[in-house]
Amino acid sequence: MKTIRLDINGIVQGVGFRPFIHKLVNDYDIKGWIKNTSSGVLMEIQGQDKSLINFIQDLKLKSPKLSVIENLKVKEIENTKIYQDFKIIKSSSDKEKFTLISPDACVCDDCLRELFDKNDRRYKYPFINCTNCGPRFTIIKDIPYDRDKTTMKEFKMCKKCTEEYGNINNRRYHAQPNCCFDCGPGIYFIDKEGNRIDKEPIKEAVNYIKEGKIVAIKGIGGFHLSCNALNGEAVNNLRKRKHRDEKPFALMGKNIEIIKKWCFINEYEEKILTSYRRPIVLLRKKDDKSFGYVSMDNRYLGFMLPYTPVHYLIFEEDIDVLVMTSANLSDFPIEYKNEEALERLSSIADGFLINNREIYVRCDDSVIREFNGREYPLRRSRGYVPYPIKINKNIGKILACGAEQKSSFALSRNNYIFLSQHIGDMKNIETFDFYMHQIKHFQNLFNIKPDKIACDFHPDYMSTEYAIKKSKEEGIPLCFVQHHHAHMASCMADNNLNKDVIGVIWDGTGYGIDNSIWGGEFLVGNYSGFKRLGTIRPIPLPGGDKAVKDIYRIGYAVLYETFKEIPEDFRFYEDYLAIEKMLCKKINTPYVSSIGRLFDAIASIINIRQKVTYEGQGAVMLENISEKTQEYYKFKINDLNDIFEFDWTYVVEQIVDDVRKNALPSIISSKFMNTLIHSCTDIVERIGKLTMIKDVVLSGGVFQNMYLLPEIKGQLKKIGFNVYCHSRVSTNDEGIALGQCLIAYHGGGVKCV
């Protein structure tokens, strides 16, 4: 007989962990006790040596779906007393309240079985849930995680539900959102005329969808706008009403077989799709032409599987694929409150499938890509947040304010970093409000009062303004972090690296330390600082922000830089003379060293696109038309006072030649991207020789490009570098806050006040 102490950290509260243990100890004839602590659970258990070993193994293997064991410490202690039974004892109150909170989880198999069991008391109940599934983060107002502190507070559990809740052998033991027809929230439909329909609301919604209408459906973290994805007219209608010209819509497929009809799915993608997090997964279309009106020229479709009981009930009604796009007016955050949704979406939706379970915080669907068998997040939100990123260093309490586009923030607590959900582009006061509220909410949830703030070095970002104000008001030191340094640090932290690296940071735009705009950078350094050792020849942007939308201006600009004039056969618009003048006199023409803008220029020159509706569209289009080829353009690397500069003018010359020879845009696009790949390896190789550094991190929005990413990674590995990519946070600006935290901790900011 032996006695041991088990100290378990992670998500082990509110996820059915103690009942699971209760059952498991019986299997192994183990006695003792278990209790919740501030960071997990503590157990003292007694039993035969062998059964203790097997018990621990089982505990790790079979632990409840939503639980996460971060750390399990085993310590043998003396047999001072003999336990007669196993008890759950009262939690010890710790000095500091702090627990991890589970993200929202899709409805589990057990609940699904009941949902469709005619004899079950929750047959077709749209809010069925249990300890293993259901809403969490989006309904929690405060901790500890008790029903009282969630939006389920107003629903008093009925007798039967209370019994389930209190019975340790029941799978709804301590399931805070537990409810049923008798005591829980209800669902109803509101038609175009504003009539409330309580009888068979789901059938009503499905009828609307089948008729080609658009329905707003309330979900876990907000409303979706939905229509039949196989009805092109309905989808086009939605596009028009939403004023969304080209950005692809997300789809929800009835089951994995339905998705396989349209897309290729490998084993990893299937795993991500079916995980309880239920993100949108970008999948390669089987036929490039299918769902043209959903994803335009895109070769990928964003698919997810149903995740709420309501979704499953909808798909029961003979529907295969739904458009499920976040319900918001363009650039505004997702709608999540009934009243506001009814008002603001009235011009888009023909009807509303709505319920009276309040959503406390917004949380958009996550978007994930698979790369090398791992997740490659593009948007880390529902199902992931607020699960922390764990790093191998205690960095204390820091607030990192993120960037501006795809904004997010991070709050650290020792070696946990809590990244916010998707906030959106900070273009309006609503988004900014959402951002500020979430910072407050996270600070409260995780009991973090930061003693340092980090923000982007860009003086005009709203997040920077916020950081400056907060730092002043609360007397907290502030650290300004260079944008691409933050990208680099983010990828380092994502991979738990703490050494000198070469960072290839390619993105749209970020504020450089020389006060110009960067975006095609080769940095060397670590969390404490960096040096810029490589970049690309700066691109003039005639008209500044205007050129980011009217990308033909960037096309003109690179042509002008190359030929000192805009060649006659490339004057796509009448205003070429005016723009030539701007370029010649450098009027309102900032210079940016951005790969994103170089993509825009090439998209314009090969005339696949002259104006874009969202940032980065030029790059997306080039990726989509590309064909695999080995060819590339000759290029030149200038060596300017210790900075290697990729000079694209030679490439532009050759592209113009190719265009004049009527080469296919698909071939030019691939040759251009191959050139980027070769120039990248060339510059990294030179920097490697200079610095003897062998580790390379790849970060920045351009690395969402699945033509470039695998090739650059592969080529660099071939010449002996260790190459690291993102797998826990996004490679775009959403992931920046993580890097800001680490840099602020190490005092690596550009400026600190």
> What's the closest the beta carbon of residue 176 comes to Zn ion, in angstroms?
13
Q: Footprint of Zn ion on residues 356-415 (CB under 5 A)? A: none
Closest CA to 312 of 122, 156, 65: 122
CA contacts within 13 A on the Cβ side of 463: 36
Helix (H, G, I), strand (E, B) or coil at 235: helix
Pairing of strands 187-190, 196-197: antiparallel
Position 83, amino acid:
Y
Cβ-count burial of 445 within 10 angstroms (0-12 exposed, 13-18 middle, 19+ buried)? buried
* 183 lines the binding site for Zn ion (CB under 5 A): yes
In DSSP terms, 247 is beta-bridged to none
Closest CA to 668 of 604, 744, 587, 726: 604
CA count, 13 A, side-chain hemisphere, 596: 25
- C-alpha dist (Å) from residue 294 to 57, 223, 300, 377: 47, 19, 10, 21
Of 161-169, 187-195, 540-548, 603-611, the segment contacting Zn ion by CB under 5 A is: 161-169
- Of the pair 111, 202, the CB lying nearest Zn ion is at 111
Interacting stretch for Fe ion, rule CB under 5 A, among 538-546, 552-560, 600-608, 730-738?
A: 730-738
* Residue 645 touches Fe ion, criterion: CB under 5 A: no
Which residues, at least 6 apart from 570, have a Cβ–Cβ distance to it below 8 Å?
555, 556, 559, 605, 656
The answer to the question of residue 733 lying near Fe ion (CB under 5 A) is yes
One of 49, 154, 163, 182 touching Zn ion (CB under 5 A):
182
Helices (H), 266-388: 267-274, 292-295, 309-315, 338-344
Q: Tell me the C-alpha distance between 744 and 139, whole Å.
A: 32
Q: Is 615 in the site for Fe ion (CB under 5 A)?
A: no
Helices (H) and strands (E) in the chain, counts: 23, 32
Could you say which of 34, 52, 106, 111 contacts Zn ion (CB under 5 A)?
111
Q: Is 507 in the site for Fe ion (CB under 5 A)?
A: yes
- Report the residue number, 108 or 229, with the smaller CB distance to Zn ion: 108
**Would you call 479 helix, strand, or coil by DSSP?**
strand
Q: Which is nearer to Zn ion, 308 or 421 (CB)?
A: 308
Beta strands, E only, 186-246: 187-190, 196-197, 215-218, 223-228
Of 135 and 424, the one with the shorter C-beta distance to Zn ion is 135
d(CA 682, CA 176) in angstroms, rounded, equals 57
Residue with tokens 């639980």: 67
Least spacing, CB of residue 510 vs Fe ion, in Å: 5
How far apart are CB 133 and Zn ion at their closest, in Å?
3
Spacing of C-alpha 191 from chain mean position: 33
User: Could you say whether residue 663 binds Zn ion (CB under 5 A)?
Assistant: no
The letter for the amino acid at 314 is I
Residue 180 binds Zn ion, judged by CB under 5 A:
yes
How far is residue 453 from each of residues 374, 463, 480, 734, measured CA to CA in Å? 31, 11, 9, 17
To Zn ion, the closest distance from the beta carbon of 170 in angstroms equals 12
Shortest Cβ 104–Zn ion spacing (Å): 12
Token look-up 């378990």 returns 8
**Number of neighbours of residue 447 by Cβ within 10 angstroms:** 14
> Is 317:341 a contact under the CB 8 Å cutoff?
no
Please calculate the CA angle 282-284-289 and round it to the nearest 5 degrees. 120
Distance CA(710)–CA(370), nearest Å, equals 12
Q: Is 117 in the site for Zn ion (CB under 5 A)?
A: no
Which of these segments, 185-193, 472-480, 501-509, 717-725, binds Fe ion (CB under 5 A)?
501-509
Whose Cβ is closer to Fe ion: residue 482's or residue 670's?
A: 482
* E strand residue ranges, 457-601: 478-481, 501-511, 517-526, 529-536, 539-540, 591-594
Q: What phi and psi, each to the nearest 5 degrees, are found at residue 254?
A: -55, -45
108 touches Zn ion (CB under 5 A): yes
Partner that binds at residue 56, options Fe ion, Zn ion, none, CB closer than 5 to 8 Å by kind: none
Residue closer to Fe ion (CB basis): 688 or 748: 748
State the binding partner of 182 from Fe ion, Zn ion, none, CB within 5 to 8 A by kind.
Zn ion
Please state, in angstroms and rounded to a whole number, the distance separating the CA atoms of residues 395 and 746: 9
Q: Select from Fe ion, Zn ion, none the partner in contact with residue 161, using the beta carbon and a kind-dependent cut-off of 5 to 8 Å.
A: Zn ion
- The binder of 88, among Zn ion, Fe ion, none, by C-beta within 5 to 8 A per type, is none
Verify binding: residue 158, Zn ion, rule CB under 5 A: yes
In the complex, minimum distance from the CB of residue 732 to Fe ion, in angstroms, rounded to a whole number: 7
Nearer to Zn ion, 98 or 165 (CB): 165
Judged by CB under 5 A, the stretch of 108-116, 217-225, 555-563, 725-733 that binds Zn ion is 108-116
Among Fe ion, Zn ion, none, what does residue 15 contact (CB within 5–8 Å per kind)? none
Closest CA to 663 of 636, 627, 634, 711: 627
Q: How far is the CB of 128 from Zn ion (least distance, A)?
A: 7
Task: Give the residue with the Cβ less far from Fe ion, 64 or 512.
Answer: 512
For Zn ion, the closer of residues 175 and 202 by Cβ is 175
513/518 Cα distance (integer angstroms)? 9
Active-site option among 9, 18, 132, 167 = 18
Q: Residue 43 binds which one of Zn ion, Fe ion, none, with CB within 5 to 8 A depending on kind?
A: none
Q: Which residue is nearest to Fe ion (CB)?
A: 507
Given Fe ion, Zn ion, none, residue 111, with its beta carbon under 5 to 8 Å by kind, binds Zn ion
Part in contact with Zn ion (CB under 5 A); list of ranges 128-136, 453-461, 560-568, 624-632? 128-136
CB of 114 to Zn ion, least distance (A): 8
Compute the least distance from the CB of residue 103 to Fe ion, in Å. 25
Residues in the chain: 753
Residue placing its CB nearer to Fe ion in the complex, 550 or 733: 733
Shortest distance in whole angstroms from residue 702 CB to Fe ion? 9
Contacts with Zn ion by CB under 5 A: the residue count is 10
Sheet harboring 351-355: ordered strands across?
196-197, 187-190, 351-355, 215-218, 223-228, 321-326, 250-253, 300-304, 280-284, 367-371, 374-379
Q: With residue 326 as reference, give the H or E element that holds it.
A: strand 321-326
Report the alpha-carbon distance of residue 430 to residue 423 in Å, rounded.
Answer: 10
Given the rule CB under 5 A, which of 131-139, 573-581, 682-690, 743-751 is the region that contacts Zn ion? 131-139
Instruction: Figure out which of the listed residues 4, 161, 448, 750 binds Zn ion, where binding follows CB under 5 A.
Output: 161
545 binds Zn ion (CB under 5 A): no
Q: How far is the CB of 420 from Fe ion (least distance, A)?
A: 17
The three-state secondary structure class of 452 is strand
DSSP state of 81: S
Stretch that binds Zn ion, among 54-62, 122-130, 419-427, 492-500 (CB under 5 A): 122-130
| Catalytic-role residue among 36, 178, 355, 624 | 36
Whether 18 is a known active-site residue: answer yes
Q: Which does 180 bind (CB under 5 to 8 A by kind): Fe ion, Zn ion, none?
A: Zn ion
> Cα(235)–Cα(415) distance, rounded to whole angstroms?
45
CB of 62 to Zn ion, least distance (A): 16
- Among Zn ion, Fe ion, none, partner that 411 touches (CB below 5 to 8 angstroms by kind): none
Size of the site for Fe ion (CB under 5 A): 3
Is 3 or 132 the residue whose CB approaches Zn ion more closely?
132
Candidates 657, 663, 716; CA nearest to 685 is 716
Cα-atom radius of gyration of the chain, to the nearest Å?
A: 27
Alpha carbons 339 and 359: distance in angstroms, whole number = 12
The site partner of 733 among Fe ion, Zn ion, none (C-beta below 5 to 8 Å per kind) is Fe ion
202 binds, among Fe ion, Zn ion, none (CB under 5 to 8 A by kind): none
> Among the candidate windows 98-106, 154-162, 531-539, 669-677, which touches Zn ion by CB under 5 A?
154-162
Write down the least CB distance from residue 67 to Zn ion, Å.
Answer: 14
Residues classed as catalytic: 18, 36
Residues found near Zn ion in the complex (CB under 5 A): 108, 111, 130, 132-133, 158, 161, 180, 182-183
Residues found near Fe ion in the complex (CB under 5 A): 507, 510, 733
